[in-house]
Structure formats: structure tokens, C-alpha cells
Structure 1
């Protein structure tokens, strides 16, 4: 078990993109200590062992396990990922079925309607007369306010109440 520790530290360190020096700083030891641990020349103290686990967010199996034990321990994670992607694949099959049951013209019409609706809820870039984005002083595109945010909701609500009042009055005649 302890004989796997050095190799696992090296693997975990590389997975995190840390150099031996960076890991040594995080653990609070010398770079040479990390090198010796990774080569199996030295083993961690109980104090530094806890720090390794914290830095790597590692389980005991990830720190001490053999490659086979690590693979078995990660099986549930892999199965969860398979379940996640299985649903995505099922969604793709459903989408393919839907797309196959409609003409290209029908799909284009729906796409145009969705794009029109999207413009109500997402900011749009301001364009000059040539269709090029207008940039602010920082070189970022200027955005138009979202149309939906500019709707006069109070006036619409008042008008709806007025119409309801008129309808009610006509029904009571």
C-alpha cells in the first residue's frame, strides 16, 4: 500500500498541473522531499499525509491504491458519466426522429421563429450602416438593451385592465 504512494503523488500532481516545487510549497516541505517521496525513497509524515490528501482532494485509495484498485474505485464515477451521456445520446436519437419527420422547409421556419423570439430576450450587438459591430472605447461591441426589458409592462397591464372592464361592461348589458 505505502509502496504505491509515491507514484500516486506523482500522478495526482501531474493531473493537477503542479510542479514539484509548487506542490512542495502547498504541503510545506522542500522540493527534494517531494522528489524523494515520488521516487519511493521517502514516505510522508502523518502531518504531511493529511496535507497531500487536502491538496489533491484525494481519497485513501487514490493516495495508496494500486492502479487496479484506483480503477475499480472510479467505476461508480465512470458509470455515472455513462448514465449522463446515455441520456444525451437518447436526446440526440429523439431529435433525429423529430428532424426526420419534418421537411427542411418546416425546420427552417421553426428556426427563424426561434431566432426571432430569442432576439426579444438576449442582447444584440449594435451595427453600423454596413452591418459591422459598433465598438465602445474599450474595443468591445456595444449592445442594444434587451427588447423584453424595455416593454412598458405598467401600460400593458393598465390597458389589459381597461379591456377587461370594457368586456365585462358589454357582457352585463
Structure 2
């Protein structure tokens, strides 16, 4: 047990992001003492041991145990975390089910409307009677012009001008 102490202190210190100097300052000893403890050259007094445990927030198993013993002692924490994550996953699954039921039809309808609008602004391939896309002699798809390209805006503009003229001059007519 005591042979694991130095390595465990070094590992825990590093996990807490502390340098040997910072650790020594928090424990109230010099850096060399921490170095000696970690290398197993020296063992702490009970008072220093208590301070090390407090700084590292570690119990006896974390300080003196083997890696296997430490892993076994953490099992309860792992099980608690698994339970917590299981609850979260279940909540996400319930949300997904509600989302699917309520919003999937709306999303699908919005997608189809967007697709329709896109088709109004882009050229579309021409299909034969069997639904196959027609290809020209160059191997390129034959395309119909976009719907909005076929609108006779100049004729509509002339018609609007004529209607405006009639509205403005209806007293003369």
C-alpha cells in the first residue's frame, strides 16, 4: 500500500493541474518534500498526509491503493453517472418521439413547398412518356426553361401601363 503512495500523489497532483511547487505551497512544505514523496524516497507525517489528502480531495484508496483498487472504488461514481446519462438519453428519446409526431408532417410540407418554389426558378429536365430524362446528341440533359424565365414581363408591363392609363383617363372615355 505505501509503495503506491508516491505515484498516486504524483498522478492526482497532475490531474488537478498542480505543479510540485504549487502543491508544496498548498500543503505547507517545500517543493523538494513533494518531489521526495512522489519518488517514494520520503513519506509524509500524518499532518502532511492529511493536508495532501485535503488538497487533492482524495481518500485512502486514492492515495494508497493500486490502480485496480482505485478503479473498483470509483465503480459507485461510474454507476451513478451511467444512471444520470440513461435518464438524459430517455428524456431525449421522449423529445424525439414528440418532435416526430408533432413536427415531422410540418417539416415535410415545408420541404415540398420549398422544392416547388425552387423548381419555379430553375430549369427542369424534360421527360419522355415513360418518365426517362431526355438527352440531346451531345449527351446533355434537355431542359425546360425555368417558369419565371417564360413569363412575358414586357407584355405584362405594357398591360399595366394601359390599365393605369385607362384608370387615369376614365373621365375622358
- The separation in 2 between residues aligned to 1:103 and 1:85, in whole angstroms, is 26
Q: Distance in 2 between matches of 1:92 and 1:32?
A: 52
Deviation at residue 103 of structure 1 after TM alignment: 3.1
Match of 2:139 in 1: none
Alignment partners' CA distance in 2, 1:103 and 1:97: 10
What are the ranges of 5 or more consecutive residues in structure 1 without an aligned counterpart? 108-173
Superposed CA deviations along residues 134-160 of structure 1, whole A, max 9, x for unmatched, are xxxxxxxxxxxxxxxxxxxxxxxxxxx
- Aligned partner of 1:91 in structure 2 is 91
Give the C-alpha shift of residue 105 in structure 1.
Answer: 6.7
Determine the structure 2 residue equivalent to 1:79: 79
Counterparts of 2:64 and 2:72, CA distance in 1: 13
Residue 51, structure 1, aligned to residue 51, structure 2: yes
Please, what TM-score do these two structures have when normalized by structure 1? 0.59
Look up the match of 1:64. 64
| Residues 139-158 of structure 1: pairs in structure 2 closer than 5 A | none
Give the Cα separation in 1 of the matches to 2:24 and 2:45: 14
Matches within 5 A, 1:1-173: 1-104=1-104, 106=106
**Equivalent residue, structure 2, for 1:156:** none
Structure 1: how far apart are the matches of 2:49 and 2:102? Answer: 61
CA distance in 2, matches of 1:3, 1:69: 14
Residue 102 of structure 2 aligns to a residue whose secondary structure is: coil
Aligned length: 107
Q: Which residue pairs with 1:129 in the alignment?
A: none
What is the rounded CA distance, in whole Å, between the counterparts of 2:68 and 2:16 in structure 1?
A: 21
Distance 1:48 1:101, change over 3 A: same
Q: CA deviation at 1:57?
A: 1.5
Cα distance, 1:62 vs. partner? 0.7
Alignment RMSD (CA, Å): 1.4
Note the C-alpha offset of 1:102. 2.1
Considering only CA atoms, is the larger Rg found in Structure 1 or Structure 2? 2
